[in-house]
């Protein structure tokens, strides 16, 4: 029975949620408590706020991965005064026990692992369609929530103060809206903040790509021929991890600067059609569409593993594989064989959706950095005086990026050097930052 077809109630009588099983709440609470140990900055924000609650009156509607790490973020926003309603941005990444713990804690959560496409949009609609509760802030991952409100409830934007978006795909959508003159509120581009780019996109993917592949396929990496499509921060992390495990890594790229970086890092730059018949593993990391089109899927060798590490599920042309002449065979959760008439089969992971959050987990500490950035962006947009932000897309102020990083340093018992007055004057910097100009590339 679908969760949509049954009414659930928490032990305190709360019913405004739709999840898999409220009875899993105790297990989810333990997961959240583990995550809290690795998310020092969010815990520090709770302590620093004390009696001050910078998000009092904020009604945040969110559409992100619903994991233990997101739960720590949601409970931090609540501790800072916000009310929250949440849906999942990915049909496979929700941790059901965590969703149950949030519902038991009084949060309105609409998500479960394995939603259908129809369920996905139904859950988003349930977050925003309540007449008695109108959001005034959006926290999005991929732009689906923002898109749904534009499509179904455009008048709602009169009450919304701003959007915080954390993915390449969602940010691209926002810039398209801005360019077309259709963006009617300020938006904060968290994806391109330094703390998100360098830590979540690079270091997180460097670890989680191996975890996701091992859990789903038990593949041996040594000696495997791999092609990584895209050499942005995600592609860099994936390529470095696989190279360190002994794989022979090829890279495809459209940007000559990223392409040159790949060459200087020791990777062979190729076009996909040059290597598609030989490779054992194809990984997409571009955020684009139809990167691995049907013509490439037809030419892959028997047993080739195909997966996506970008946010969007459009990078691999999975729709073209849903045809009568091809047979789908489920191997295990998130692993499918797609079999051609001649017996050739490829191994498709998570139906082309995000590999690490669908097939494994991601390092909590890195997500602490991103989640803290999201929290500060919400606080900034919500409390900004009228006129500070126009109807455009903005980057997180450099000072906040540095603050997020500083909150995580005590975990390593790290001691920052301080500028002397003379040194600060010589460089033309304040002793408390920001320490780099906005155009600086870390």
| Cross-strand partners of 330 | 336
Least Cα distance to 393 among 80, 155, 143 occurs for: 143
The per-type count for the chain, helices as H runs and strands as E runs, is 17, 15
232 in a labelled binding site:
yes
236 in a labelled binding site:
yes
Sign of CA dihedral 361, 363, 364, 369: negative
196 in a labelled binding site:
yes
Rounded-to-integer distance, Cα 95 and Cα 344, Å:
34
Distances (CA, A) of 82 to 61, 79, 257: 10, 7, 42
Least Cα distance to 209 among 348, 83, 356, 88 occurs for: 356
166 in a labelled binding site:
yes
Rounded-to-integer distance, Cα 268 and Cα 252, Å:
9
Q: What are the respective helix, strand and coil percentages of the chain, to the nearest 5? A: 45, 15, 40
**DSSP secondary structure, 59-105, as one string:** EEEEEE--SHHHHHHHHHHHHTT-EEEEEESSSS---HHHHHHHHHT
Triad 36, 40, 44: Cα angle to 5°:
110
200 in a labelled binding site:
yes
233 in a labelled binding site:
yes
3-state secondary structure of 231: coil
**DSSP secondary structure, 342-390, as one string:** TS-EEEEEGGGSBHHHHHS---HHHHHHHHHHHHHHHHHHHHPPTTSS-
13 in a labelled binding site:
no
The CA dihedral of 51, 56, 59, 63, to the nearest 10 degrees, is: -30
244 C-beta neighbours (distance < 10 Å), count: 12
356 in a labelled binding site:
yes
235 in a labelled binding site:
yes
253 in a labelled binding site:
yes
38 in a labelled binding site:
no
Determine if the peptide bond prior to 434 is cis (ω within 30°).
Answer: yes
- In the DSSP assignment, the letter for residue 291 is S
**DSSP secondary structure, 318-334, as one string:** -GGG-STTSEEEEEETT
Q: Which residues are part of a known binding site for substrate?
A: 67, 141, 166, 196, 200
Q: Which residues are part of a known binding site?
A: 67, 141, 166, 196, 200, 232-237, 253, 356
Q: Which residues are part of a known binding site for NAD(+)?
A: 232-237, 253, 356
């Amino acid at each position: 029975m679908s969760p949509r077809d049954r009414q659930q109630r928490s032990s305190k009588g709360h019913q405004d949620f739709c999840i898999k099983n409220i009875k899993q709440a105790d297990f989810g609470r333990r997961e959240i408590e583990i995550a809290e140990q690795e998310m020092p900055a969010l815990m520090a924000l709770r302590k620093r706020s004390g009696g001050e609650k910078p998000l009092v009156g904020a009604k945040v509607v969110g559409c992100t991965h619903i994991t233990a790490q997101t739960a720590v973020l949601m409970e931090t926003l609540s501790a800072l005064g916000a009310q929250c309603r949440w849906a999942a941005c990915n049909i496979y990444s929700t941790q059901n026990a965590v969703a149950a713990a949030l519902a038991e804690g009084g949060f309105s959560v609409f998500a479960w692992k394995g939603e259908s496409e129809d369920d996905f949009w139904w859950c988003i609609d349930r977050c925003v369609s309540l007449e008695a509760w109108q959001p005034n802030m959006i926290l999005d991952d991929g732009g689906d929530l923002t898109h749904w409100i534009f499509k179904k409830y455009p008048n709602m934007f009169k009450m919304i103060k701003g959007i915080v978006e954390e993915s390449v795909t969602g940010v691209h959508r926002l810039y398209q809206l801005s360019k077309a003159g259709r963006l009617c509120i300020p938006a904060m581009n968290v994806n391109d903040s330094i703390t998100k780019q360098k830590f979540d996109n690079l270091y997180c993917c460097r670890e989680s790509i191996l975890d996701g592949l091992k859990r789903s396929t038990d593949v041996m990496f040594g000696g495997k021929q791999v092609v990584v499509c895209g050499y942005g921060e995600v592609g860099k992390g994936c390529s470095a991890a696989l190279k360190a495990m002994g794989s022979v890594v090829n890279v495809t790229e459209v940007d000559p600067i990223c392409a040159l970086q790949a060459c200087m890092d020791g990777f062979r730059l190729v076009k996909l059609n040059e290597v598609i018949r030989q490779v054992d593993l194809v990984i997409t990391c571009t955020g684009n569409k139809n990167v691995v089109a049907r013509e490439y899927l037809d030419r892959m060798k028997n047993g080739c593993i195909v997966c996506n590490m970008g946010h969007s599920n459009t990078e691999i042309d999975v729709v073209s594989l849903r045809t009568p002449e091809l047979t789908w065979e489920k191997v295990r959760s998130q692993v499918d064989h797609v079999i051609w008439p001649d017996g050739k089969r490829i191994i498709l992971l998570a139906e082309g959706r995000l590999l690490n959050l669908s097939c494994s987990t991601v390092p909590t500490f890195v997500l602490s950095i991103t989640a803290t950035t999201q929290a500060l962006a919400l606080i900034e947009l919500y409390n900004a005086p009228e006129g500070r932000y126009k109807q455009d897309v903005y980057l997180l102020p450099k000072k906040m990026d540095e603050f997020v990083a500083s909150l995580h340093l005590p975990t390593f018992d790290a001691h920052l050097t301080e500028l002397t007055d003379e040194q600060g004057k010589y460089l033309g910097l304040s002793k408390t930052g920001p320490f780099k100009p906005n155009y600086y590339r870390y």
